Amino acid sequence: MPMFEKSSPQGFWQRLGCRILGAWLRFRSVDPERPESVITSDTRPVIYLLPVSALSDRLALSIFCQRHRLPSPDGDVCLASGQHFPAHLALFDAAHYRRHRGHVDRSTSLDHLITTLEQHSDSDVDIVPVTLFWGRAPQRERVGLRHLLTSDGWSLVGRLQRLAGVIINGRSLEIRLGEPVSLRALMSHGDVDQQFNRIRITRFLRRYFRRIRLQAIGPDLSHRRTLIRRVLRQPAVQEAAHHIALERGEQDARALQRAERYGFEIAANMSAPVLRFLYQVLGRLWNRLYDGVDVHGIEDIEALAGTHELVYVPCHRSHIDYLLLSYVLYQQGLMPPHIAAGRNLDMPLIGPLLRRAGAFFMRRSFRGNRLYSAVFNEYLHQLLSQGHPVEYFIEGGRSRTGRMLSPRPGMLSMTLRSHARAPSRELAFVPIYIGYEKVLESNAYIRELRTGKKRKETPLGLLRVLRHLRQPFGRVQVSVGEPLALGSYLDQRFPDWRSQPPGADADWLREAVPDLSQEIATRINHAAALTPIAMVALTLLATPHRTIEIDLLLRQLKTLYALQAQLPGGKRVRLPEQGPREWIERSEYLGMVSRIEHSLGDMITVSDERATLLTWYRNNILHLFALHALVAFAFRNNASLDFETLDTLLAPIWPALQQEYFIEDDDTPFAEHLNDVLDVFVALGLLKRQGEHWHRPETGNEARERLYLLGRAIQPTLERGFILFSTLMHYPSGTISREVLEAQSQLLAERLTRLQGLNAPEFFDRRLFAGLLDTLERDGWLWQSQERLNFDARLPEALMKSRALFDPALRHRLTELTAGRPHTEASA
């Protein structure tokens, strides 16, 4: 039978307090959602354990148990030995805990209970840890100044402030129940020394409560000046300051003063009241700007928040990214991270606010400033080692093209070195994809893509965003990618990394940084969300004149959806809701496309200026269709192909596409991927199989049009590669430098876009040519000697085979374009 004793009669004040508070308290957030499922033991009595004794917490717990029909915490429980104990205990007495500033190793409230269990081996109890947060239910929270000053934090407050907190935040109460744990089981893992065993149990429970509080409100925010002083005391900073002092012929104290200035230039000054205030401001801003924010996969972060140091690595598409992610995390009951921001954002008005919201600022380059580098490295290490979540963008800056940019190694390298200093800590990267139906900076991106110049951020420039508050910007998708546990990742790839020094010249570190950056970028892309705008853009930009009949557009959108449903381009792809007709209407509503009414059937079109912007949205999802489009493009100039020929044509191209679009290389042979695509194409009617050959549909068949539109999506990428190879083939091996080849290829690509009447600046982005050359060097097609590119006969042969992919007219145009050598000398 259950061992729960009937509650003893409550005192008058206890009953009065419960009656008064019961009418006022609202538990806005309960974890778990079904608390009655936590306490299932029918053989052992249950004792609730609070971290610190407080009357308000005891009354709130009593009210909560009454409402959910849980065992009462107000009476006594009876052990098997016949002894009675209170049904609730506190780990520490608040006054004792405050008097010793938290340095307490013993819990007197548990001592007597543990002693009893030691004397009676047949007795046991289940301890249920309970944590309450007053004013920390963000999904329903109302915040004003009074709420900011009375919400829970790390410090213990006095009775008056506690009373004010109960009155003000009583309707925004969060409670978290831990899993019941057998006290005897805790004792059985202890030392022979009973005194030490009691201290160990107390420390275990104390760490549990700290982990729960850490997950909810983040680490205890030390004073900024204290943190900077701790950074300055580190040996690496002291050594760098001494080195600089010797170089400049000055005292070490002078160099340390300079280091201190760097510290204040860098360090965040996160403020809990400012975070809560910004939560409300941003909530209203999102409601004004967007139709909603959809969050996917947040449970993966919740599972790691209490046990791992978290490094959030989102893609960077808009200035809104870091504000949006902090808002989403706070709304979900998680601590917003410290965010690495460019020093260009540390401007009047904006900078101080961002700094109090958790931003720490960094210069674009540390090169040549050893002292600044040492201070920044130590500051980042202090954040991570103290359990502060950190966020940075591995792309460095915002993507003006909409695609994932090549990762920058700086922050990743510093994170790895920090982790190598204390490899026993658990650290996890959390990739996050943020997708916008309409990006806030759309007009700025059009201007920057057209002119190739970026406008410098100013307070006035950022405030101009307010002019757009009345425009619709659709919905935002925030998708959490597959987290990456750093220790396990390094153990698999570099088994000896723990035994090697974490210096910048470590062999494992030089290899780990590019590998890790590629892996994180791939996991971000794997979590991409298909938005209506991106789907429409992918189809519309594949048409010759950026105009398409609605019936064909509807069929193509259905095809794109079916391809991702049956053979997704990423592990965590988010498919859009509703259907193709609603996607078109949404694109019209957001002003991205226009409808042309016609008696024979309406058409959808886009202006030249909007077409440039649509490339940004198309590039958000192009990587998901790269393989599908590559196979479709092979049938543009070939009516029929057998499997062997198709594999020979496409297999050499696929690694370059994987590198450019950050697509996972899962060691699966390309032939298997190709076979899967062909099967899906046959099922959707895009191809017909006859024996060992696959045939494209006949001319005039609507399936032929769908196949053509799909293949056109990858055509610019293949044309860019053809230009690069053709240019290289005009020079003998070992006679042209990489820099010259990139420059010439960029000029030829730009010329091609002008001749075709296109306005697509991202087509001749030099970084794309650089990335392709990186892939060719990695795979052994090219190598450098004396700063010149070398190749063997395999590359010309591959180029000749690839010509079969292009129709004669396009092949002639590309060949003619690269036939004449540019004026730039190969030896330049």
CA distance readout (Å), 2 to 42, 44, 69, 741, 778:
5, 7, 15, 80, 68
> In the prediction, which pLDDT does 198 show?
73
pLDDT at 477: 94
Question: Do 580 and 655 share a domain, yes or no?
Answer: yes
Q: Is the pLDDT of residue 828 over 60?
A: no
Residues 422 and 273 in one domain: yes
CA 32 to chain centre: 25
Give me the domain span that covers residue 289.
224-525
Check residues 157 and 372 and name the one with the higher pLDDT.
372
Question: Is residue 665 very low, low, confident or very high in pLDDT (cuts 50, 70, 90)?
Answer: confident
pLDDT grade, residue 647 (50/70/90)? very high
Q: Mark 104-141 as b/e (b = at least 16 C-beta within 10 Å).
A: beebebbeebbeebeeeeebbbbbbbbbbbbbbbbeeb
Looking at the structure, tell me whether residues 510 and 393 fall in a common domain: yes
The answer, yes or no, to whether residue 205 has pLDDT greater than 90, is no
CATH code for position 254: 3.40.1130
Number of domains in the chain: 4
| Distance of alpha carbon 159 from the chain centroid | 41
Q: Are residues 689 and 775 in the same domain?
A: no
Tell me: do 619 and 598 sit in the same domain.
yes
pLDDT more than 70, % of the chain? 84
- Is the residue at 432 inside a domain? yes
> Which residues does 252 contact at the CB level (< 8 Å), separation at least 6?
241, 242, 245
Query: Are β-strands 181-182 and 126-134 bridged in parallel, bridged antiparallel, or unpaired?
Result: antiparallel
Name the band, by pLDDT with cuts 50, 70 and 90, for residue 505: low
End residue of a domain, out of 481, 504, 525: 525
Residue type, 90: A
pLDDT at 449 over 80: no
pLDDT number for residue 106 = 58
- The side-by-side arrangement of strands in the sheet containing 693-695 is 640-642, 693-695, 688-690
One-letter identity of residue 676: D
Asked if pLDDT for residue 24 goes beyond 90, the answer is no
Per the prediction, the chain carries an average pLDDT of 83
Query: Could you read off the pLDDT of 83-120 as tens digits, one per residue?
Result: 888 888 888 765 555 554 444 555 677 788 888 888 88
Q: Does the pLDDT of residue 144 top 70, yes or no? A: no
HSE-up (13 A, CA, CB side) for residue 108: 5
Question: What pLDDT, in 10s, does the model give residues 372-402?
Answer: 999 999 999 999 988 889 999 999 888 888 8
More confident site: 136 or 785: 785
- Of 678, 712, 746, the residue at which a domain comes to its end is 712
- Asked whether 340 and 517 are in contact (CB, 8 A), the reply is no
- Name the DSSP letter for residue 403: S
Three-state DSSP at 281 gives helix
Average confidence (pLDDT) over 703-710: 94
267 and 170 both lie in a single domain: no
Place of tokens 């934090």: 153
Which of 663, 678, 712 marks a domain boundary? Answer: 712
Residue 429 neighbours by CB distance under 10 Å? 24
- With bands split at pLDDT 50, 70 and 90, how would you rate the model's confidence at 192? very low
- 369 domain residue, yes or no: yes
Model pLDDT, residue 100: 46
The segment with the largest mean pLDDT, out of 29-38, 366-375, 560-569, 721-730, is 560-569
| Model confidence at 811: pLDDT above 80 | no
* 497 and 548 both lie in a single domain: no
Give yes or no: residues 538 and 513 share one domain. Answer: no
pLDDT at 739: 92
* Spatial separation of the C-alpha atoms in residues 143 and 273, rounded to whole Å: 9
* Residue 334 included in any domain: yes
pLDDT level of residue 585 (50, 70, 90 thresholds): very high
Matching residue, tokens 């950026």: 546
Answer yes or no: is 824 within a domain. no
* Helix (DSSP H) and strand (DSSP E) numbers for the chain: 35, 24
The pLDDT value given to residue 451: 62
> If DSSP codes are grouped into helix, strand and coil, which group holds residue 131?
strand
What mean pLDDT do residues 487-495 have?
92
484 and 599: one domain? no
Q: Do residue 138 and residue 284 come from a single domain?
A: no
Domain contains 825: no
Would 728 be classed as within a structural domain? yes
Q: Is the pTM of this model over 0.85?
A: no
Is residue 202 located within the same domain as residue 351?
Answer: no
Could you tell me if residue 4 is inside a domain?
A: no
pLDDT at residue 499, rounded to an integer: 82
The winner for highest mean pLDDT among 265-279, 294-308, 467-481 is: 294-308
- Res. 311: pLDDT tops 90: yes
| Residue 389, pLDDT score | 92
Q: Average pLDDT, stretch 603-613?
A: 88
Both 457 and 554 in one domain: the answer is: no
What does the pLDDT read at residue 270?
84
> Does residue 826 fall inside a structural domain?
no
Among 132-136, 405-409, 706-710, 822-826, the range with the most confident prediction by mean pLDDT is 706-710
Residue 146, pLDDT above cutoff 50? no
